[in-house]
Amino acid sequence: MEENNTTNFSNEDEKSKGSTRRNFLKNLGLAGVGVATGAAALYSGHIFEAKKEATGESKVLLTQDGKLVSVDSLEIKSHIKTGEELRESQGREGIPGRRWVMVTDLSHCRNARKCINACQDAHQLRPEQYHMNTLQMQDAPNTAPYNMPKNCQHCDNPPCVAVCPVDATFKRPDGIVLIENDRCIGCRFCMAACPYSARIFNWIEPKDAASHQGQDYNVELNVPQKLGTISKCLFSADRLREGKLPYCVEACPNGVYYFGDENEDAVTNGTTKETVRLSKLLRDNGGYQLMPELGTRPRVYYLPPKNRLFPFEEAKDATPEKV
């Protein structure tokens, strides 16, 4: 009966072929077979993995608490990380119990640019690339001009980290915002998000790239620099691990920078090596932050440029590079 129907209404049948119950069931069956095949493939893969693990020979090991256990040899992995792997995990974890903080005393800066040079040497930067730059500032026509060193503010609410799509730039528990240039895809969202213009991009082959080829990447130093990735101030995370002050802080001849741990309430001047209380220093000298209204909560504080002992013009002569 049904066959007759189809021959009689062949034209209509072609149009409505897709919607007959038989076809629907056929499609459902095909989909079901597809799913079953996929699941079977996954399952056999799983079985294979499990078999592989089980066939390894077992080894007898001594645990930390003195027990002898037998472990499949395939499951033995080195507990101690070395080289780049170690540096990467250290770089993500930071130094426990610390909250690094920097204080820049504007009244002392006379644009000697030693901080900039030390920084560029350490991070393999070209002379026109700045992690730390000294800006010449004048707030109003009749106020005293001053030099303002500006680096990454290592915000506690970092807009750059929020926009990074690949977790290449990240904040550490000790407050430092770092970059892992192996992950960086060069989208430059972070550059656009940073209100302090602290980030630079390697548009061209980094300085002496050929001679640094094959060098292990150090996330706490961000060297070797990589073409098409971001770089910025890292608070010299590698030096902090050794208990040393950052490159710029150490290099300053004029006592501009203080660096220390907020948890200890102490900062140390890079030039005089004098350690003072952070809270007292900020309170007594009118410490402030850059653009606090943005809610970025910077970890760099500034002391106002009062009692400047030298004129601005003199500082201009001290500038060795013209950019």
Q: Which is nearer to other proteins, 162 or 192 (CB)?
A: 162
Check binding of 290 to other proteins (CB under 8 A): no
Other Cβ atoms closer than 10 A to 244? 13
Q: Check residue 131 for interaction with other proteins (CB under 8 A).
A: no
User: With CB under 8 A, what is the number of residues at the site for other proteins?
Assistant: 54
**Which one of 29, 34, 97, 286 is in contact with other proteins (CB under 8 A)?**
97
Q: 3-class DSSP state for residue 8?
A: helix
**DSSP codes joined into one string, 183-199:** T-----HHHHH-TT---
Q: Does 157 bind other proteins (CB under 8 A)?
A: yes
Quick one: which of 58, 107, 218, 268 contacts other proteins (CB under 8 A)? 268
Query: From the CA atom positions of the chain, what is the Rg in Å?
Result: 31
Instruction: Please choose, out of 53-61, 66-74, 225-233, 255-263, the segment that lies near other proteins by the rule CB under 8 A.
Output: 255-263
Tokens linked to 86:
């170690």
Shortest distance in whole angstroms from residue 298 CB to other proteins: 13
Q: Does 66 bind other proteins (CB under 8 A)?
A: no
- Find where tokens 């971001």 sit: 230
Query: Rounded CA gap, 13 and 20, in Å?
Result: 9
Give the Cα separation of 284 and 197 in Å (integer). 29
Site for other proteins contains 8 (CB under 8 A): no
The DSSP bridge partners found for residue 302 are 104, 288
Cα–Cα distances in angstroms (integers) from residue 13 to residues 16, 28, 199, in the given order = 5, 20, 67
Question: CA-CA distance, 78 to 16, in Å (whole number)?
Answer: 65
* Residue in 60, 62, 80, 309 binding other proteins, rule: CB under 8 A: 309
Q: How far is the CB of 220 from other proteins (least distance, A)?
A: 16
Dist. CA 218–CA 220, nearest whole Å? 5
Residue 116 engages other proteins in binding (rule: CB under 8 A): no
Question: Does the protein bind other proteins through residue 170 (CB under 8 A)?
Answer: yes
Q: Does 232 bind other proteins (CB under 8 A)?
A: no
The residues that touch other proteins, with contacts defined as CB under 8 A, are 16, 19-21, 94, 96-99, 110, 112, 114, 117, 156-159, 161-162, 167, 170-175, 243-245, 251, 253-255, 259-261, 263-268, 271-277, 309, 314, 317-318, 320
